[in-house]
A and B are shown apart, each in its own frame.
Chain A
């Protein structure tokens, strides 16, 4: 009697277990952060995908950028984490990405359309397909056109230098009584663009970081000088210790700075938040003695190799990387796409804001005149290490805690220590 009762119970338990495992097998978890409306757009796109693929359940975990930057690496080191993630530290974490080459429907499609940035996110010396860039970004400046007009100061032209912008912005700030003429994000990536324009080189002959050179020093000393004389916003740079990221976007949105150096990802943000409060323009990157380069970059969507469902993950990735989806995503989010086919066929950005459309056009044009080193850095393993050391020490110099020479020595020492640590 007992045996006859136990059997159905065991069978029911086994069925339950199997169905729950099957449900888990179809789960694909995406860790996603948003700068603007892209989370909403993704939710909409994924909703359609799940309608067509009812056997795959996609869960979007919307998190802050700091979670992706600080907590995801720890999860990955522990062999854990989501199935797919939107990240910016693409190269530094590349050992954790899943090779989608054998899993995607058409690897040649991926190579053709995303091949230019594929190296940014794969381990050196491999042909791995790790994912694709959800957006290509480019650093560049923004000017508050209304403030310039009210001050009667002409906007510096296309080939204007950093000095030209500093001089003009200072005149605007004095005339319009705003706290700071210029602001630059507290980010090593942002600081790198003008350093390259001043002739800096980060990569040594052995492929490892080179000591900080005259080009970098030339801009850093100018930058600190600007902070000391009030030309550059001190608030952004001294507002934290370590390599913590801080943006100056809110100051620009509130009309508190005349010129703001950030990047193309701010366009949708400005379009939404500034609206008709004042006129603004994208200026491209100011020139230095060496060139007028900006720094490319962006966020990529990558598959994580610790996933339990690689086939489902590949299906989701194939869908999100498909031409119509990339096109719709870019047009609705106002992000510059990385997809070659989409770029060639052109985009109709989904905005009535003429300023935003013009700004995006300026960034697309600027992306064609990048310095060779600027193109290399996103795919170089040590970029983030240099950015971290730069931010930490330059902000200490900005706060008056150390001299410039001490900051340069510390930057080299910090980078050397990291190189040594990584070899252990």
Chain B
């Protein structure tokens, strides 16, 4: 028995050794240039060297498009190539901001842009609030000792796997005039309603559908946070006879805050960028009641018969700025939390 064990151990060792050969070879090859970099540029230089590939990808796919987009926003006309376009300075921004009353889009030169801004604002407020609440409640329930807990977790996560187009189509078939919902209502003796033709219901549908489609992902993040909270804290609270609400506000919520902060920022950014499932579900209608900024940019830059890439670029730069502000707010919040944590 001992002999077999020793043989296995020897074989394992030799296999490990064999596997390490190419690694050692590779290390040998890159060792010399790395030593040279460290000698030439110091430790700081080494850090920059390792960051370079990531920075290159970031530069090519994020920074470069941003600057190109900014250049487009300073040009006019319908041509696609930057070289064929006329420099118009800040005219496109001036056109977007040409408004007597920002709260009344009808007084603006680009009324649909401000309608889209207003719709997006409302959508963000409603969707983010409800998404956090629903995801949190769902995570709290799924964290309990439920029967078939894994099954329920899969059920809530399943819509995340669907493509946004599929999500939009499924709900369109449910909510349209001759859809499943009206079929059911009619069956129970109620009058059918054309949900997607009603401004308020259509807007509510966009919020509801986006929550249904994405809450599984956020629930998962919150669930991970809940499971990381030490059980003994709850046991101590139970021994002290602490009420459930107090346990939630004094233990669960504070310890969950880092996860919640991540979720809030992700939901916020996703809400500002909302496009695909809504485009399929309502197409921005009825009228412009579910037209959001991303769809405005798409329609202006690509779908209109005479495209205006400059105006679309200006609108997307403004939207990008909003996203930058939101991200900075998140960074600020998490830093202040870290500092507080360090002081404690």
Of B13-21, B63-71, B281-289, the one with at least 4 CB within 8 A of chain A: B281-289
State whether the Cβ of B328 lies closer than 8 Å to any Cβ in chain A.
Answer: no
Interface size class of A (residues with CB under 8 A): 35 or more
A320-335: contact bitstring with B at CB < 8 Å (1 yes, 0 no)?
Answer: 0000000000000000
Residues in A with CB closer than 8 Å to B85 are 424
Let me know if B88 and A424 touch, CB within 8 A.
yes
Contact B295 A241 (CB under 8 A): yes
Bound-complex Cα distance A384 to B106 (A): 24
Closest to B202 in A: A238
Question: A18 within 8 Å of B by Cβ?
Answer: no
Known A92-B305, A243-B303, A422-B306: A77·B285 in contact at CB below 8 Å: no
Task: Decide if A242 touches B307 in the complex (CB within 8 Å).
Answer: no
Known: A239-B196, A242-B304, A388-B305. A424 touches B285 (CB 8 A): no
The answer, among B76, B88, B196, B304, for a CB contact under 8 Å with A243, is B304
- Whether B43 is near chain A, meaning CB under 8 Å from some CB there, is no
Q: Which of B81, B109, B288 contacts A77 (CB 8 A)?
A: B81
A179 surroundings in chain B (CB, below 8 A): 177
Count of B interface residues, CB-CB < 8 Å? 38
A413-B79 Cα distance, complex, nearest whole Å = 21
A424 touches which one: B76, B284, B302, B305 (CB < 8 A)? B76
Q: Shortest Cβ distance from A226 into chain B, in angstroms?
A: 16
Chain B 48-87 against A: per-residue CB contact (8 Å), 1 yes, 0 no?
A: 0000000000000000000000000000111111000110
Nearest Cβ in chain A — how far from B106, in angstroms? 6
Count of A-B contacts judged by CB separation below 8 Å: 106
CB-CB contacts of B331-342 with A at 8 A, as 1s and 0s? Answer: 000000000000
Interface centre among B111, B287, B291 (most CB of A within 10 A): B287
In the complex, A70 Cα to B295 Cα: how many Å?
Answer: 14
Known A-B contacts A384-B305, A385-B305; the reply to A400 vs B287 at CB < 8 A is yes
**Across-interface contacts of A424 in B (CB, < 8 A):** 76-78, 85-86, 88
Contact between chains at A238 and B286 (CB < 8 Å): yes
Whose C-beta in chain A lies nearest to the C-beta of B287?
Answer: A399
Check if A235 sits within 8 Å of B76, measured CB to CB. no
Most buried by B among A241, A384, A388: A241
* 11 A-B pairs in the complex with CB atoms less than 8 angstroms apart: A77-B81, A92-B306, A238-B286, A242-B291, A384-B306, A392-B112, A399-B287, A406-B106, A413-B109, A421-B306, A424-B77
Chain A interface residues toward B at CB < 8 A? 69-71, 73-74, 77-78, 89, 92, 179, 234-235, 238-244, 246, 254, 384-385, 387-388, 392, 395-396, 398-402, 406, 410, 413, 418, 421-424
Q: Please give 6 more A-B residue pairs, beta carbons under 8 A apart, in addition to A69-B303, A243-B299, A243-B303.
A: A73-B307, A77-B79, A77-B81, A240-B284, A242-B112, A387-B305
Nearest first, the 5 closest Cβ-Cβ pairs linking A and B are A241-B284, A399-B287, A240-B283, A77-B80, A424-B77
